[in-house]
């Protein structure tokens, strides 16, 4: 079934089972410094298979750096990241092979979609599976069309990104990330560059993915989304996780003054 790209229970093609406790992603002691600036000061994170973790926090608190560290786009100075059965210890500089292995475990959806302007929507979606994963074109094409259907854009397959609205482009970005069949989906403020009226359609696709059992880590300021979709919310400030827990605790009854101040400011 070409359309079936839903995660199974970690026994999928790339085979990266969660551990016995059901934890798919585990990060420990992530530290990152940019010159004088210590951006991550020891981040620990556990995300169970099929669950959604939402990172919130002020601008500059380190959310994007955490996300990028999880798939090796940023190389932490210390700490470990395990996704499924791939583990990288950043105490020593990772080899290219280790980074490629880690990157293959997750797909990132960026703030701006980064679609290739000269390729059609469908070509954008299947580019990764074709060139990075070297999978057969016919198979990949069928899956790509099914994914476009899934994000409500089947009719746009042959159009080019500039012919689409920002929300539609971002949905293509999601389809493109899904096409790589990752264990884990990472979202870096996927709606923050969109006009307000286009935010809902993207969040709705993300909500569907969560309901289908995708494991997701989402950086967002959309507190209502966090409230209704997250299994855990982590509040970052100054490179540390100040408070974490289920949304009804962190968002509704925050214990830390810094969390309260932040929520007051954005709500």
Rule CB under 6 A: is residue 220 a binding residue for ligand ADP?
no
Report the C-alpha gap between 129 and 167 in whole angstroms.
Answer: 23
Number of residues that bind ligand ADP (CB under 6 A): 11
Q: What angle do CA 233, 220, 153 make, to 5 degrees?
A: 120
Residues 33-52: x where in contact with ligand ADP by CB under 6 A, - otherwise, as a string = -x--x-x-------------
Report H helices in 23-162. 63-70, 96-103, 121-127, 137-150
Select 13 or 37, whichever has its Cβ closest to ligand ADP.
Answer: 37
Helix (H) or strand (E) holding 188: strand 184-188
Among 16, 64, 106, 232, binds ligand ADP (CB under 6 A): 64
CB 202 within 8 A of CB 167: yes
Select 62 or 254, whichever has its Cβ closest to ligand ADP.
Answer: 62
User: Least Å distance between CB 64 and ligand ADP?
Assistant: 3
Rule CB under 6 A: is residue 75 a binding residue for ligand ADP?
no
Among 29, 60, 128, 213, binds ligand ADP (CB under 6 A): 60
Rule CB under 6 A: is residue 238 a binding residue for ligand ADP?
no
> Could you tell me the CA-to-CA distances from 168 to 22, 113, 151, 201 in Å, in that order?
34, 10, 9, 8
User: Least Å distance between CB 15 and ligand ADP?
Assistant: 31
Select 112 or 130, whichever has its Cβ closest to ligand ADP.
Answer: 112
User: Least Å distance between CB 153 and ligand ADP?
Assistant: 28
Among 16, 65, 191, 244, binds ligand ADP (CB under 6 A): 65
Rule CB under 6 A: is residue 61 a binding residue for ligand ADP?
yes
> Residue 116's Cα: distance from chain center in Å?
20
Q: Which range in 61-69, 77-85, 94-102, 199-207 contacts ligand ADP by CB under 6 A? A: 61-69
The residues pairing with 26 across neighbouring beta strands, listed in sequence order, are 46, 82
Report the C-alpha gap between 173 and 201 in whole angstroms.
Answer: 13
Nearest alpha-carbon partner for 194 in 224, 226, 222: 222
For 265, phi then psi, to 5°, come to -70, -35
CB 74 within 8 A of CB 153: no
Query: Regarding beta strands 86-89 and 106-109, do their DSSP bridges make them parallel or antiparallel, or are they unpaired?
Result: unpaired
Question: Which tokens hold the place of 125?
Answer: 């979606």
Q: Which range in 6-14, 62-70, 131-139, 223-231 contacts ligand ADP by CB under 6 A? A: 62-70
Rule CB under 6 A: is residue 62 a binding residue for ligand ADP?
yes
User: Least Å distance between CB 60 and ligand ADP?
Assistant: 4
Question: Which tokens hold the place of 225?
Answer: 């989304």
Select 34 or 116, whichever has its Cβ closest to ligand ADP.
Answer: 34
Binding site for ligand ADP (CB under 6 A): 34, 37, 39, 57, 59-65
């Amino acid at each position: 079934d070409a359309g079936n790209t839903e995660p199974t229970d970690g026994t999928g093609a790339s085979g990266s089972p969660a551990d016995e406790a059901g934890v798919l992603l585990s990060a420990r002691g992530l530290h990152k410094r940019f010159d004088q600036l210590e951006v991550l000061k020891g981040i620990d994170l556990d995300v169970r298979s099929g669950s959604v973790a939402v990172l919130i926090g002020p601008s500059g608190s380190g959310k994007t750096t955490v996300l990028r560290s999880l798939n090796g786009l940023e190389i932490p100075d210390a700490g470990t990241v395990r996704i499924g059965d791939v583990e990288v210890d950043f105490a020593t500089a990772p080899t290219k092979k280790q980074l490629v292995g880690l990157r293959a475990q997750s797909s990132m959806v960026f703030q701006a979609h980064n679609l290739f302007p000269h390729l059609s929507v469908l070509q954008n979606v299947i580019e990764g599976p074709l060139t990075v994963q070297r999978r057969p074109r016919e198979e990949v094409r069928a899956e790509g069309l099914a994914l476009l259907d899934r994000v409500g854009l089947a009719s746009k397959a042959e159009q080019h990104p500039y012919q689409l609205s920002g929300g539609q482009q971002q949905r293509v970005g999601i389809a493109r990330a899904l096409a790589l069949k990752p264990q884990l989906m990472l979202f870096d403020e996927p709606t923050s560059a969109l006009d307000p009226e286009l935010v809902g359609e993207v969040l709705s696709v993300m909500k569907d993915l969560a309901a289908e059992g995708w494991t997701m880590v989402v950086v967002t300021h959309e507190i209502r989304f966090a409230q209704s979709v997250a299994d855990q919310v982590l509040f970052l400030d100054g490179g540390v996780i100040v408070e974490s827990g289920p949304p009804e605790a962190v968002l509704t009854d925050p214990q830390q003054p810094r969390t309260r101040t932040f929520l007051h400011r954005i709500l």
